[in-house]
Amino acid sequence: MSFKTGLPTSGRSEAGSSEAAPAKSALTETAGCAAICRQLAEPLIGTAPTAAVGWLLIEHPGPWPAFGLPPDIPAPLARFANQALEHGVRTQLIRRPDRMGRQVGAGTPIVMVGGGPPGRKWLEQRALTDPHLLSGLDPSRIAHSQPLGFGVPVDAALLVCAHGRREVCCARFGRPVARALAARFGSVVWETTHVGGDRFAANLVVLPTGAYYGRLDPGSAVTVAEMALEGRITLDQFRGCAGLPAAVQAAECLLRRALGAVAASAVRYIDQRDDDGDNDHYAHSLAASADGKSARAAYRVHRVRFDVNGQGTHTVTLARQDTTCPRLTSCGTGTVETPTGYRLLGIAGPLADPAGRREAVRIAG
């Protein structure tokens, strides 16, 4: 099968992307968005896409348009991708990092489908000899069901954003990372289109878990990938897992750092409760420490519960607040905004001491 159908570009951008109006800032005129992000040491936590609960990966050699699908994607495949998007299934174009990998072998591109509920994620792969093979899949089941039997099970895929037409920083930082990972881990490594969070380039997505890592270089990427393939999380570069609310992602990152919990299976999300600035004593305290009532609306307090190693529930309390410095967050779209950040207020829950006794622990932010 060849990519020669002339289908028009689909033209849909990432859900929830910012369209903030440009603003003047010294930082916006001196460097690209990734360099600015590094200069400011912007926190990574809670920045993975919240809407992505499943994945459709389509091998395509490029060129890749800045937005949407290339015009040579077969019509049945494009229709399925658009239908799947309505159910939170994110489409990514993928290709091998080396030059030979820019040629789809034997006219049969690889397609992968991944999904499943948290803790039971799966990924399947097959050579797509006929684009109509996807027509029998129900995209609404991808995020919640067991493997669909679409193809053979795949243990992992490492996706490095290298989408230069969308964001020059992703190409500049991502391509060296993709080459380094391919040299170390071989066929599980792919270059891919926009994954979200341009300013955190180089970005790595680990499937099937949907774990996002950012601000990588070739050396740190190899370490992160090696740990990820062993079922462990590198806490310093961890952005969060796609498909979870941003506050939940941030809370998980903060809890893992506080407890040193690097095993991917160690922390399981239970639920979340939010309080606005008028009803929560934490928000009142935060506002009082700033500029009174006018600041209260800038804070939103989240309480997120997790199970840790099946030993009890931990509650992370954190406040959502804007950072103080508008900056360029995407060179490709020219977006200038003030990103949201999170402040840890406290962690409460049972822990076991070295002697094996369980005791309540409170960690203040």
Ordered domains of the chain (ranges, CATH): 49-243 (3.40.30.10), 245-365 (no CATH)
pLDDT at 120 > cutoff 70: yes
Q: How does the average pLDDT of the chain come out, rounded?
A: 83
pLDDT at 114 > cutoff 50: yes
Residue 100 is predicted with a pLDDT of 61
Mean pLDDT of 92-103: 81
Residue 49, preceding peptide bond in cis (omega within 30° of 0) = no
Residue 169 is predicted with a pLDDT of 93
* Paired sense of beta strands 54-59 and 89-95, if any: parallel
Instruction: Considering only residues 280 and 299, tell me which one the structure prediction assigns the higher pLDDT.
Output: 299
pLDDT band at 133 (very low <50, low <70, confident <90, very high): confident
Instruction: Considering only residues 40 and 99, tell me which one the structure prediction assigns the higher pLDDT.
Output: 40
| Strand order across the 238-241 sheet | 152-153, 122-127, 110-115, 54-59, 89-95, 189-192, 157-161, 204-207, 211-213, 238-241
Highest mean pLDDT among 11-25, 103-117, 257-271: 257-271
Query: How large a percentage of the chain has pLDDT more than 90?
Result: 60
pLDDT band at 161 (very low <50, low <70, confident <90, very high): very high
Kindly report, residue by residue over 167-225, the tens digit of the pLDDT: 999 999 999 999 999 999 999 999 999 999 999 999 999 999 999 999 999 999 999 99
pLDDT at 12 > cutoff 60: no
- The lowest-confidence range among 42-46, 166-170, 349-353 is 349-353
CA distance 79 to 244: 26
pLDDT at 17 > cutoff 60: no
Residue 13 is predicted with a pLDDT of 33
- The lowest-confidence range among 81-90, 276-285, 299-308, 312-321 is 276-285
pLDDT band at 7 (very low <50, low <70, confident <90, very high): very low
CA distance 83 to 138: 9
The model's pTM is 0.84
pLDDT band at 365 (very low <50, low <70, confident <90, very high): very low
- The HSE-up count of residue 196 (CA atoms within 13 Å, CB side) is 27
pLDDT band at 14 (very low <50, low <70, confident <90, very high): very low
Pair 76, 131: CB distance under 8 Å: yes
- The lowest-confidence range among 27-31, 208-212, 269-273 is 27-31
pLDDT at 10 > cutoff 60: no
Mean pLDDT of 320-347: 86
User: Cβ-count burial of 14 within 10 angstroms (0-12 exposed, 13-18 middle, 19+ buried)?
Assistant: middle
pLDDT at 359 > cutoff 80: no
Residue 338 is predicted with a pLDDT of 87
